[in-house]
Amino acid sequence: MLNKLKNILIIIGDFTRFQFSVLLSLRGISKRRNQIIEQMERIGYDSLLLISITAGFTGLVTAVQASYLTNGYIPPNLIGVLVGKSTMIELAPVLTALVLSGKVGASIAAEIGTMKVSEQLDSMLSMAIEPSDFLYMPRVVAGCIMVPILTIYANLIGIVSAFALSVIKYNINGYTFFLELKNYFMPSNLWGGLIKAFFFGLFITMIGCYAGSKAQGGAQGVGRVTTMTVVYSSIGILILDFLVASVLLGVSN
């Protein structure tokens, strides 16, 4: 038991040191503009279809659930309010992050893990190229930028799909749907979700880079760290969701 606790503390300490090394590399961010833009395209543009499908069906399910759960309790024209608030505060940032943990986090871990087991990282160090500056920092910066942007996109797709279903299936007036959404809209709902998305993007890319840098044992080791990245990223997202929501909602209250 003590050995397991010791190993966990060692991993936490090593991960903290890794994060500091990446954050210190931000001093050279201007030199890595091209790498950052390339990673932004891989994280953002290449994920649009996946986020569109996820957000679209999330909006449809939210509209159905909102109509069912509030039937007889609140007016149907307030479905837009429920959909908007739940999407902006919780569903869009969390589901977007969970999807990206499987796509982006696993991709980063596999890519860097392959470089690790093939000794490319050691070759970089021998040429005085720091992986924290050349590999990890551009991916972390791109994740912190693109996950909030993808969350905004998911908000749009989710609300529009819920609107379409509400108009077609529940005969809710389209003008009323958006009017009530506007009347009850609070900027803190949107900003709260975007703050969550920023931390999610930071965590997904950090854990992907860290896990990949620890790969060993050939292809089997790369597969192991890729799986670990998805699992730990998903768990971390849910924990971060609780912590950030507690702080934000506590402040707003």
Q: Is residue 196 a contact partner of residue 241, using CB atoms and an 8 Å limit?
A: yes
- Of 147, 129, 136, give the one whose Cα is nearest residue 211: 136
pLDDT of residue 148: 96
Count of residues in the chain: 253
* pTM of the entire predicted model: 0.91
Domain ranges of the chain: 34-252
Q: CA 57 to CA 59: how far, in whole Å?
A: 5
Helices and strands (H, E) in the chain, number of each type: 12, 0
Q: How far apart are CA 217 and CA 213, in angstroms?
A: 12
Taking only the tens of pLDDT, the chain with its 253 residues reads: 677 787 888 888 888 899 999 999 888 888 889 999 999 999 999 999 999 999 999 999 988 888 777 776 777 777 888 888 889 988 999 999 999 999 999 999 999 999 999 888 888 888 888 888 889 999 999 999 999 999 999 999 999 999 999 888 888 888 888 888 888 888 888 898 999 999 999 999 999 999 999 888 888 889 999 999 999 999 999 999 999 888 877 655 5
- Contact by Cβ (8 Å): 32, 134: yes
User: How far apart are the C-alpha atoms of 200 and 185, rounded to whole Å?
Assistant: 24
Token pair, residue 244, equals: 């950030």
Cβ 197 vs Cβ 151: under 8 Å: yes
